[in-house]
Amino acid sequence: KGNNAYGEVIGKGGFDRVEGIVLDQSGEPLIGATVLVPETAIGTITDIDGTFSLNIPTSAKTLKFSYTGFSDTEVPLNSAYLTVRMEEASELMEIVTVSSVSRGLRIRGLSNLKDKHLYIPFNTVVERPLTIEYEIEAPYTILSDGKTHRIDVVQFEVPAVYSYSSIPKKKEAAFLTAQVPDWQELNLPTGEVNLFFENAYIGKSLLNTDFSEDTLEISLGEDKGVFIDRKMVKEFSKKQLIGKNRVVELEFEIFVRNDKRSAIDLTVYDQIPVSFEKSIVVDNVEISDGELDEKTGIITWKVKLNPGESRTFQKKYRVKYPKANGYLKLER
């Protein structure tokens, strides 16, 4: 179900690099979708445009796509560029469990745990200079039926900080991320993870531990309990001709509302144009208490929303440029 891939067929596999885009059924890009070569730890996640690029072994025959709240999709590698459409499967809940293939990791809110790391022993873990050895002490019954079986080796419960982020210009949605501090002490492997909310399986993601940051970020996908709406305010947006110049004034409103039963921390990003030509001037910028990076034009709003609380952010700017340049393509 949901295995839809479109692209020009240029071969029967054997690619060493594949690119593509991951969309939902309405054609909107899925940000942070997991792209994985099955039975390996080779994978990546999609960017803010829903696109991905991945180096793959020539023996790979398929790619597996996972996204929180959507059915897993496995696509044959019959093209160097894939357009994948995924189907929605279930709704986002509130409490999260993340379990890796070989070792278990359960994350909870910071207030739920007194200890920094709660270790739940199943077997003995012996750390050596270059390897980690697991002595399986608990009795298990493993059938000789030729099938793959999984057993619990180690389980930790660790504190996590949850935060939401949104780029309404790309997609009117909020994405939940769990941040786990001091994760290096857990000896977690890089690879595919299963995501559970309130003990209900909702999808897969990619756990990437191959970096040196102090905090491990785990993408948990889109949360429909946070409403986001972005629109252009037409009555304050206009075009004019003043002398030899064209003047375009644009104003946008971003409305956010927390429909969840608990308070959330939300970061909203937007952007204004940045000019590198003296003849093109961007001014009269108003960003309603947001923080503006003048080099990139990126605007950041950070807000804490209580249950049922809403906020509206305004973004307004003017662009003046010579009419001899024709019409500039600005956002809508």
Last residue of a domain, one of 85, 104, 138: 85
Owner of token pair 């994405």? 175
Average pLDDT value over all residues in the chain = 78
Structural domains counted in the chain: 3
Residue pLDDT, tens place only, 259-314: 999 899 999 999 999 888 888 888 878 898 899 998 999 999 999 999 999 999 99
| Assigned domain for 34 exists | yes
Domain housing 69: 4-85
**pLDDT at position 171 over 80:** yes
Give the CATH number, domain containing residue 235: 2.60.40
| Assigned domain for 331 exists | no
User: Is the pTM higher than 0.75?
Assistant: no
Same domain, 152 and 199: yes
Same domain, 79 and 101: no
Same domain, 207 and 119: yes
What is the pLDDT at residue 91?
46
Same domain, 123 and 168: yes
SS (H, E, C) 114-181: CCCCEEEECCEEEECCCCEEEECCCCCCCCCCCCCCCCCCEEEEEEEEEEEEECCCCCCCCEEEEEEE
| Assigned domain for 66 exists | yes
**pLDDT at position 109 over 70:** no
